[in-house]
Amino acid sequence: MQRTLIWDVPTRLFHWTLALCFAGAWLTSESDEWLSVHVFLGYLMLGLVAFRVVWGLLGTHYARFSSFWFGPKTALTYLRQVLKGKAERHVGHNPTGSLAIYLLLILTLLVGITGFLTLGGEERQGAAAGWMSFAQSQTFKELHEFSANLMLLLVLGHLAGVVVESVLHRENLARSMFTGTKLANTGVPAARPRRGVAVLMLVLVAMYGFWWFFYALHTPLERQLGRPESRLETPNVAFVGPKLADNAQWRDECGSCHLAFHPSLLPSRSWKRIMAQQQQHFGAGLGLDAPTSAALLAFLSENSADRHQTEPASKIDRSIKMEAVPLRITETPYWVKKHRAILATDWQLPQVKSKANCAGCHLDAEAGTFEDAAMHMPARNAKP
């Protein structure tokens, strides 16, 4: 037996980068604030899978698919042998481990693609922006979460496999994925390090990171680092908003005193009550005749929050209790939650003045989309 190079440097680099990306993507999956990092890691994982497929054809001996091309049946037989504690040692990937690798590569692809579609549908960002409505994107979001959970299970299975195999054959498999070497019989083929390819990989990842954080996001690095102050003051990522229903009569009648609040911001039961009480409309009398009232109510109901056309519509609707009929958007639980962090002095800025002046901070308030990306806090020192 002698120390033999089994895992070439690019394979090891691939392995640990993918593992780090996976962990990072989990940690950043819950909050909008980390979305850009989450998406960055997602694209990087897709790139890594593409690399691994190429390396499975062109890499050194143990990295090639041909060296670990076992069928599922062999994988299960091997698993049974492992459980009985008398499995044969493989210096390269064993049959069960190989199956896990193929499944992980396929799942990474699935998680990446569904993530890309979710980003386009839910946040209106990325190349898939505008391909589908918020409601349609929810199917992909569910698939994204389901496949990510499946991937986590598989990763846990892979870790268990590493521990069991290490004990069974009295060798530290995790360490050999760092050093690349294992004790092997003389005569067993050895891999070549291929350091040049690994350096090229690192350069590409660094270039991608540089491009992403300095150009793709159009935002200063400060914002990415999450200083809340600057987050509120700088415009966000470029976006493509959906085209929501519009109506000239509604703009005319409901947009003369304040912004014509888009119907998707309240459920239809609220619009019904607002129109029924139009003579005492927040202290003003609207004085609309019956046909006009009916036409406005029809437009408002047809495009209300219950339709879940956009992310805010869906979230506003789901935040309201079934029996509640809010008359103000600014009193819905989702709105309150989203604006809790804004300072009292910011509501009094000359460009804002009232909570109902949505356009003071949301560049797309007229269109009714309220995308994160179109949020723009007015500067605190601006002249009126």
Site for ligand HEC contains 372 (CB under 6 A): yes
Piece of the chain touching ligand HEC by CB under 6 A; list 6-14, 111-119, 151-159, 325-333: 325-333
User: Distance between CA atoms of 320 and 305, rounded to whole angstroms?
Assistant: 11
For residues 105 and 375, which CB has a smaller minimum distance to ligand HEC in the complex?
375
- The CA-based angle 240-242-244, given to 5 degrees, is 145
Give residue 59's region: left, alpha or beta (phi > 0; psi -120 to 50): beta
Tell me how far, at minimum, the Cβ of 381 lies from ligand HEC, in Å: 15
Q: Tell whether residue 330 is a contact of ligand HEC (CB under 6 A).
A: yes
Measured from the CB atom, is 15 or 355 closer to ligand HEC? 355
- Nearest approach in angstroms of CB 231 to ligand HEC is 8
Question: Residues 85, 105: contact at Cβ < 8 Å?
Answer: no
Whole-Å CA distances, 271 to 39, 165, 167, 290: 37, 64, 67, 15
Which window, 6-14, 111-119, 173-181, 370-378, contacts ligand HEC (CB under 6 A)?
370-378
- Return the range that interacts with ligand HEC (CB under 6 A); candidates 23-31, 166-174, 190-198, 257-265: 257-265
Judged by CB under 6 A, the number of residues near ligand HEC is: 39
Task: Report how far apart, in Å, the C-alpha atoms of 90 and of each of 80, 312, 343 are.
Answer: 15, 54, 63
Q: Does 362 bind ligand HEC (CB under 6 A)?
A: yes
Minimum CB distance to ligand HEC smaller for 102 or for 347: 347
What residues between 76 and 135 interact with ligand HEC by CB under 6 A? none
How crowded is the C-beta side of 121, counted as CA atoms within 13 Å?
A: 21
Among 253, 306, 317, 364, binds ligand HEC (CB under 6 A): 253
- The 280-319 site mask, x for binding ligand HEC (CB under 6 A), equals -xxxx-x---------x--------------xx-------
| Amino acid of residue 293 | S
Give me the least distance between CB of 293 and ligand HEC, in Å please: 8
Nearer to ligand HEC, 272 or 328 (CB): 328
Burial 246-267 (b: 16+ CB within 10 A, else e): ebeebeebbeeeebbbbbbbbb
241 binds ligand HEC (CB under 6 A): no
Nearer to ligand HEC, 68 or 370 (CB): 370
Toward ligand HEC, which CB reaches closer, 253 or 317? 253
Q: For residue 44, how many other CB atoms are within 10 A of its CB?
A: 21
Question: Which of 14, 45, 53 lies closest to 177, judged by CA?
Answer: 14
Report how far residue 177's alpha carbon sits from residue 7's, in angstroms, rounded to the nearest whole number: 7
- Sketch the per residue contact string, 208 through 237, with ligand HEC: x for CB under 6 A, - otherwise: ------------------------x-----
Determine contact, residues 237/218, Cβ cutoff 8 Å: yes
Tell me if 265 contacts ligand HEC by CB under 6 A. yes
The minimum distance between CB 329 and ligand HEC, in angstroms, equals 4
Which amino acid appears at position 252 of this protein? Answer: D
257 lies in the binding site for ligand HEC (CB under 6 A): yes
Distances (CA, A) of 347 to 231, 337, 339, 343: 17, 15, 10, 7
Structural tokens at position 295: 């036409």
* Interaction of residue 354 with ligand HEC, rule CB under 6 A: yes
Cβ contacts of 309 within 8 Å, gap of 6 or more: 133, 134, 135, 242, 244, 264, 303
The residues in 334-353 that bind ligand HEC, with binding defined as CB under 6 A, are 335, 338-339, 342, 346-347, 352
356 makes contact with ligand HEC (CB under 6 A): yes
Binding stretches for ligand HEC (CB under 6 A): 232, 253-254, 256-258, 261, 265, 274, 281-284, 286, 296, 311-312, 328-330, 335, 338-339, 342, 346-347, 352, 354-358, 360-362, 370, 372, 375, 377
